[in-house]
Structure 1
């Protein structure tokens, strides 16, 4: 995703420390949905990132054409799918873990394991 943004001359990661944090996700999703105005995108910043609005506007002033938007949407959909799979795996682990609780407790007594 980062490379696609860079190819579109959008330097969001130069201002946003976590591209997939709340603000980064909001801006990327807006771009996927068609927003290209750097001022509108920058206003999606949350919390302390709001103090960097001028830098965000500059970083978001790129060339996000239909091609890059398509690629960005593909990345976004893949990210959503992977996050959904991770949630499913975590649920499955939680479901299967109780019979092995005794082993987990034993492992937790080993030095260096928390």
Structure 2
């Protein structure tokens, strides 16, 4: 069983060696790297924190694994122009925001949102 930092180093090294700016890792592959049969939320959070220190962002993707993105590759990304994109951002209701991003209240209830 590897510690959080070691797991993050293996993943970050794979990203670096690949020469690509974005990759995916399956949950099964993550379990193999971690040396654990079950991966808990706390492990993911700690590995994610270490990965950020090593220049890699990790988040869950819709396919059931994790997306990996080189943070350096985002350096030239354009900034959000809040007033141009959402002129009514100060007063817009959450339900309208959910519609814009393609979610419904039912989706939020399903995710077990913590407030």
> Which one has the bigger helix percentage?
1
> Which one has the bigger strand percentage?
2
Largest Rg, 1 or 2:
1
- TM-score normalised over the length of structure 1: 0.27
